[in-house]
Structure 1
Amino acid sequence: MNFSPKRKASNIILLISAFAIVSLILWNTNSFFRKFKEEERLKMEIWATAQLELIQSSVDQELGNLTLKVMGNNTSTPMILVNEEGSFKTHNIPKEKIADSVYIQKKIRQFASENEPIQIIQDGELLETLYYGNSEVLNKLKYYPLALLLIIFLFGTVIFFFFRTNKASEQNKLWAGMAKETAHQIGTPLTSLLGWNELLKSEDINPDITKEIAKDIDRLHTITERFSKIGSVPELRNHDIVAETEKAYQYLIQRSSKLVHFSFSTNVEQLYVPLNPPLYNWSIENLVKNGIDAMKGKGNIGIQIEKKGQNVHILVSDTGQGIPKSDFQNIFIPGVTTKKRGWGLGLSLVKRIVEEYHKGKIKVFSSSKEGTIMQISLRTNET
């Protein structure tokens, strides 16, 4: 992530600009809403005046027609006109609701809360009270800022995830480049070590020493191959998963504490699965090492291979302190670790190798205070 002052300043300016634009739009919308509401109020006052003129113009027919024309122009604002006796007339109210007195009373209270009622007075006497609500246009305008904020929020969310994904992609490329460069850097001294070991074999020294050095050189070669494959699509070929699992397992047995007891079992002697051995073995080693760490270097580690239908399950068990059920999914997230010291990359790397490269599945099969069982599931080529 780039934390340079220029990048920070540009982010702050962008944030302030976005806030200013949203604030301006909301302020402008609110001003327009209030102005529209004032105009609607004026229209209702004119309508109330026309209603009073209609009452007074029972003799003047021409004035009555003009008044009726003014009153007839209102086709959108719902109104309820209540006289001093409690009788009412409605305008722009659904016809099927006019006879429902409970509905009318509810509407009167609603209109009174939305707009101040207009009193029609003649010679100091209250003749009628006009209750009116917001027109359909005004109601839609009232919710426009919310819709606008929702659109802006969704748009911002899309942009956020776009940049987040783009940044994650850049980080993945960076890590892949670093891994390949590490593999390249290891390759030079590794070639030199091979030559020195051959030279040692010609000397009069214990052959067991050169044999162990050769094993460690092979190990370095395997690590180099693993790092070189990060960031690229690995080649999968049919390999015996029993032999490959046992190979990785035996390497760890020879280099682990005597306080750790290992066991290996399988219900098949040979089973071919599309594998990339260096990456698959890396997964097994990570799971076993995690189990050893969970047991604090003392306990039982077991691997069990089971073939069920066209799937093969590799179960790695330990007698450690267990994983809380709430963390069954979190432990596969990069950076999440239950250890006091650690990067939280081991299980996320295993998940990527198993699920992205080998199209399999990995999960916490079970966990308690007595220990944990991790399960890798892969598709076989056999029926």
Structure 2
Amino acid sequence: MNFSPKRKASNIILLISAFVIVSLILWNTNSFFKKFKEEERLKMEIWATAQLELVQSSVDQELGNLTLKVLGNNTSTPMILLNEEGSYKTHNIPEEKVADSLYIQKKIAQFKNENEPILIIQDGELLETLYYGNSEVLNKLKYYPLALLLIIFLFGAVIFFFFRTNKASEQNKLWAGMAKETAHQIGTPLTSLLGWNELLKTENINPDVTKEIGKDIDRLQTITERFSKIGSIPELREHNIVAETEKAYEYLKKRSSKLVHFSFSSNVDEVPVLLNPPLYNWSIENLVKNGIDAMRGKGNIAIQIEKKGHNVNILISDTGHGIAKSDWQNIFSPGFTSKQRGWGLGLSLVKRIVEEYHKGKIKVFSSSKEGTIMQISLRAIEK
């Protein structure tokens, strides 16, 4: 991703513009709310005037059509009309609550907090007090800024995760390109090593030496193949998981310290699975090396294969210091490591190889101060 000064300036301008737009929307919404509240206040004052005319008309004259229309037109604002004797009338309040005096007292207190009561006075004498609350529309409008902020926040989160995903995608492409270029560069000296090893075979040298050199060259070819396949979909073919695991086990056993004791066992001789051997062997190698690191180069490594139902489980155990249970999921996250010089990529690659490429599962089967057992589960091919 481009982090040039021009790009940074554009991001800052975009951020300031977004802040200004949000501020204007909130200010406009608040102004509209206040205006609407003033209009509702005016409507209640007109209603109170009509109520006063109602009181006067019962004594002096007949009630006009306009007054009747004003009194009957309010169907949304809840009101309580309280006279000096303590009796009250209600409008737009649930009928089942009208007779509950405690509920009415609570409503009066609520209405006083929401709006200043309107006094109905005749000839200097207080006849009634009108308490009114916010209408349903006004209450909804009151929470509109919060809903708007939530929408803006969610929209911002979507944009953030979009750019973050885009950045991660570009980084993945960069790593894939570097891996393929590394594989390409390794190819030239590897070809020379093959030639030199063939030349050594013609000399008076112990055949076991050239045989082991050949195995290491094959290993380098396997590593080169792994790097060349990063970023592309691996090809899966039917292989015997027991034989492939044992092959990886034997290679690691011969090239590990004598202080590390290896053991291998399986309750079956053959289990066919869809497999990419170079990537699978890479996974086994990572898990075994992690176990050796956890034991600080001294202890027991055991690989066990179990066929259970339609699945085959590969268990890799060590006698290291163990993993805290709170980190059982974190260890598969890119960048997470307990090593001082670790990159935190090994187990995340293993998880990707097992779960994304081979459609299997990997997890911490168990862990304590006595050691850790990692489990890979793959689907067996039924015949």
What is the identity, as a one-letter code, of the residue corresponding to 2:70? V
**Map of 1:139 onto structure 2:** 139
Deviation at 1:56, TM superposition (A): 2.6
Deviation at 1:375, TM superposition (A): 0.3
In 2, distance between residues paired with 1:364 and 1:96? 61
- 1:89 maps to 2:83: no
Unaligned runs of 5+ in 1: none
The 5-angstrom pairing of residues 1-383 of structure 1 reads 1-58=1-58, 61=61, 64-382=64-382
Q: Secondary structure at the match of 1:128?
A: strand
Relative to structure 2, which stretch is displaced further, 218-227 or 98-107? Answer: 98-107
Q: Secondary structure at the match of 1:81?
A: strand
What is the identity, as a one-letter code, of the residue corresponding to 2:330? N
In 2, distance between residues paired with 1:4 and 1:366? 48
What is the identity, as a one-letter code, of the residue corresponding to 1:366? S
Q: Is the 8 A contact 1:299 1:318 kept in 2?
A: yes
Relative to structure 2, which stretch is displaced further, 120-129 or 155-164? Answer: 155-164
| Aligned-pair Cα RMSD in Å | 1.6
In 1, distance between residues paired with 2:202 and 2:381? 46
Deviation at 1:366, TM superposition (A): 0.2
In 2, distance between residues paired with 1:305 and 1:53? 94
In 2, distance between residues paired with 1:55 and 1:5? 75
- Which digits, 9 at most, give the CA deviation of each residue in 1:23-75, with x for residues without a partner? 11111101100111011111111221222233233455466443223323322
In 2, distance between residues paired with 1:165 and 1:143? 33
In 2, distance between residues paired with 1:270 and 1:140? 68
Q: Secondary structure at the match of 1:80?
A: strand
What is the identity, as a one-letter code, of the residue corresponding to 1:90? T
Deviation at 1:123, TM superposition (A): 2.7
What is the identity, as a one-letter code, of the residue corresponding to 1:102? L
Normalising to structure 2: TM-score of the pair?
A: 0.95
Q: Secondary structure at the match of 2:26?
A: helix
In 2, distance between residues paired with 1:362 and 1:119? 75
Deviation at 1:303, TM superposition (A): 0.4
In 1, distance between residues paired with 2:369 and 2:151? 49
Relative to structure 2, which stretch is displaced further, 270-279 or 96-105? Answer: 96-105
Deviation at 1:365, TM superposition (A): 0.3
Deviation at 1:137, TM superposition (A): 1.2
Deviation at 1:210, TM superposition (A): 2.5
Q: Secondary structure at the match of 2:93?
A: coil
Deviation at 1:81, TM superposition (A): 0.5
Relative to structure 2, which stretch is displaced further, 356-365 or 173-182? Answer: 173-182
In 2, distance between residues paired with 1:162 and 1:143? 29
In 1, distance between residues paired with 2:381 and 2:205? 47
In 2, distance between residues paired with 1:66 and 1:282? 89
What is the identity, as a one-letter code, of the residue corresponding to 2:337? T
Q: Secondary structure at the match of 2:268?
A: coil
The size of the alignment, in residue pairs, is 383
Q: Secondary structure at the match of 1:231?
A: coil
Deviation at 1:129, TM superposition (A): 0.4
Structure 1 stretches (4+) deviating beyond 4 angstroms? Answer: none
Q: Secondary structure at the match of 1:274?
A: strand
What is the identity, as a one-letter code, of the residue corresponding to 1:358? H
Distance 1:307 1:189, change over 3 A: same
Relative to structure 2, which stretch is displaced further, 40-49 or 322-331? Answer: 40-49
Unaligned runs of 5+ in 2: none
Q: Is the 8 A contact 1:26 1:145 kept in 2?
A: yes
In 2, distance between residues paired with 1:57 and 1:237? 97
Deviation at 1:213, TM superposition (A): 2.2
Distance 1:2 1:320, change over 3 A: farther
Relative to structure 2, which stretch is displaced further, 55-64 or 225-234? Answer: 55-64
Deviation at 1:205, TM superposition (A): 3.6
What is the identity, as a one-letter code, of the residue corresponding to 2:302? G
In 2, distance between residues paired with 1:113 and 1:76? 19
Deviation at 1:255, TM superposition (A): 1.1
Q: Is the 8 A contact 1:58 1:64 kept in 2?
A: no
Q: Secondary structure at the match of 1:221?
A: helix
What is the identity, as a one-letter code, of the residue corresponding to 2:147? A
In 2, distance between residues paired with 1:53 and 1:274? 90
Deviation at 1:158, TM superposition (A): 2.1
In 1, distance between residues paired with 2:243 and 2:326? 35
In 1, distance between residues paired with 2:66 and 2:234? 87
In 2, distance between residues paired with 1:207 and 1:375? 38
Relative to structure 2, which stretch is displaced further, 243-252 or 369-378? Answer: 243-252
Q: Secondary structure at the match of 1:246?
A: helix
In 2, distance between residues paired with 1:171 and 1:311? 35
